[in-house]
A = this chain, B = another copy of it.
Amino acid sequence: MTDVTERVPKVPPLVEMTEFWTDLSPESRAEILSEAQLLDFAAGETIEIDFGLMISGTAAIEYMVGNGRRCLVELFHSGDLIDLCRRERRPQGRLVGLGYGSMLVLSVADFEACARHHADVLAAYRRRVEDQTGRLRDHINDLAVKTPLERIVAVLFELRRWPEARLGEATDIILPILRKDIAAYTGMKPETVSRALRRLLEAGLIRSGAHDRETITLIDPPVLRQIANGSASKTLEEGR
Contacts and interface: CB of A to CB of B under 8 A. Distances in A.
Contact of A90 (B86, B134, B185): B134
Interface in A73-111: 73-74, 83, 85-86, 89-90, 92-93
Contacts of A146: 65, 69
How many identical subunits does the complex contain? 2
* A-side interface size class: 35 or more
The main secondary structure of chain A at its interface with chain B is helix
Contacts of A232: 66
Contacts of A92: 229
Contacts of A129: 83, 129, 133
A75 to B, nearest CB: 11
A141 B71 contact: yes
Contacts of A219: none
A213 interface: no
Nearest to A119: B116
A71 B134 contact: no
Contacts of A73: 137, 140-141, 144
A187 B143 contact: yes
Given A137-B74, A137-B93, A139-B140, A130 B83 contact: yes
A69 to B, nearest CB: 4
Interface string A115-155: 11101001100110111111011111101111000000000
A86 to B, nearest CB: 4
A214 interface: no
13 contacts: A61-B137, A65-B145, A65-B146, A65-B231, A69-B145, A73-B141, A86-B131, A92-B229, A93-B137, A112-B119, A116-B119, A136-B136, A136-B140
